[in-house]
Amino acid sequence: MTLILGLESSCDETAAALVDSDRRILAHRVAGQEADHAPYGGVVPEIAARAHVDRLAPIVAGVLADAGVTLADIDAVAATAGPGLIGGVMVGLVTGKALAHAANKPLIAVNHLEGHALSPRLADPALEFPYLLLLVSGGHCQLLLVKGVGDYRRLATTIDDAAGEAFDKTAKLLGLGYPGGPAVERVARNGNPHAVPLPRPLVGSAEPHFSFAGLKSAVARASASGIHSVPDLAASFQQAVVDCLLDRSRIALAACPEARAFVVAGGVAANGAIRDALTDLAAHFGKPFVAPPLWLCTDNGAMIAWAGAERFAAGLTDDLGVAARPRWPLDPEAEAVRGAGVKA
Ligand code: KG4
Ligand code: ZN
């Protein structure tokens, strides 16, 4: 049994957790920064980095105290080393290096996307490789065949915005505040998903990728027309996102008969309408559908600790000289896609 301390600071959650190789989560703490960024309607990188500096050390002390252990009891320190907002990533990685050095333990530099990709295995011991993963968050929208630890095939990514980004931008333009996803979902419950005609970018195209920027602009135009209510706009937008995710996932499922399960992860996986639609799609393909509990879907330290545990078991540790990476694709062989806003 090994015990891993995991640190996460790549976006606007400061988080740490202690997870062991038997999938026990001994302690986890997450501090969001919603109040810090709310006045700006989105995450401000410099504010995020400074908040991580203030909050990470007490959070690490807190999880050690919660679990009743000291640094001497852990086997390795895992820290997100990218991709993400570089200032924040550096805070977590440097903290991880310092703790590893001080305690004389190995460091594991974790790709944040690998944290999301492997987190379903923390929640579900029966989930075996390979599985098809739809990773939908504020920064990413990808379909990945997860073949093993450190072994990923990227089937699709977004050519512009990520799905969560589209939710956040739509919420902003509808005046629903930040973070946008939960606000849009709440308001959409009172709206008609078929009231506003909106495009489904790339649906029906043989190109496997995602695109959401045009959808967001269409919501802006529909909103400006003054014809539609905010609930109808929110519900129709959410339905368009559902239809895009389903269409792209269908292509990927058809291309990966070897996948043993269809898995969703990332903050957008918290959306009930999206979860329901993906559940039906998995059933249609005869695959088990796996979605981690909601707290494990949004950014957290446990997914980084667990990815660290999986890498440690595979003998993968890193030098203290390892660099933070703003961009870090999980699949280095993946073809470049058109579009300027590609995140990884
Ligand atoms: O995985 P995550 O916590 O951070 C990133 O790595 O990006 O995902 C955050 C994203 C935000 O864009 C947020 O608006 C979205 O997930 N989100 C949702 C919901 N809850 C969070 N989107 C749609 N519906 C939700 N209920
Ligand atoms: Zn994330």
pLDDT in tens, 50-75: 999 999 999 999 999 999 999 999 99
**Ligand 1 pocket member 266 (CB < 6 A):** yes
Q: How confident is the model at residue 338 (pLDDT cuts 50, 70, 90)?
A: low
**Ligand 1 pocket member 299 (CB < 6 A):** yes
Q: How confident is the model at residue 23 (pLDDT cuts 50, 70, 90)?
A: very high
Ligand nearest, relative to CA of residue 298? 1
242 touches 204 (CB < 8 A): no
Out of 30, 89, 167, give the residue to mutate to test ligand 1, the one with the largest number of ligand atoms within 8 Å of its CB. 167
Helices (H), the chain: 34-37, 45-67, 86-103, 112-123, 163-173, 180-188, 213-224, 230-255, 272-284, 294-297, 301-313
Task: Report phi then psi at 181, rounded to 5.
Answer: -55, -60
Closest residue by Cα to atom 16, ligand 1, is 267
Q: How many helices, marked H, and strands, marked E, lie in the chain?
A: 11, 10
Nearest ligand 1 atom to alpha carbon 265: 1
**Ligand 1 pocket member 114 (CB < 6 A):** no
Residue 336: its pLDDT value, please?
79
Residue 342: its pLDDT value, please?
47
What whole-number distance in Å separates Cα of residue 66 and Cα of residue 77? 17
Output the average pLDDT for the chain.
Answer: 95
pLDDT at residue 301 above 70? Answer: yes
Residue 68: its pLDDT value, please?
98
Ligand nearest, relative to CA of residue 303? 2
What value does the CA radius of gyration of the chain take, rounded to a whole number of Å? 20
Q: Which residue in this structure is represented by tokens 């998903």? A: 193
Sheet holding 289-290, edge to edge: 151-156, 141-148, 131-136, 262-265, 289-290
Q: How confident is the model at residue 340 (pLDDT cuts 50, 70, 90)?
A: very low
Rounded distance from Cα 12 to ligand 1 centre (Å): 11
Q: What is the pLDDT of residues 145-179, one digit of tens each?
A: 999 999 999 999 999 999 999 999 999 999 998 77
Q: What is the pLDDT of residues 77-90, one digit of tens each?
A: 999 999 999 999 99
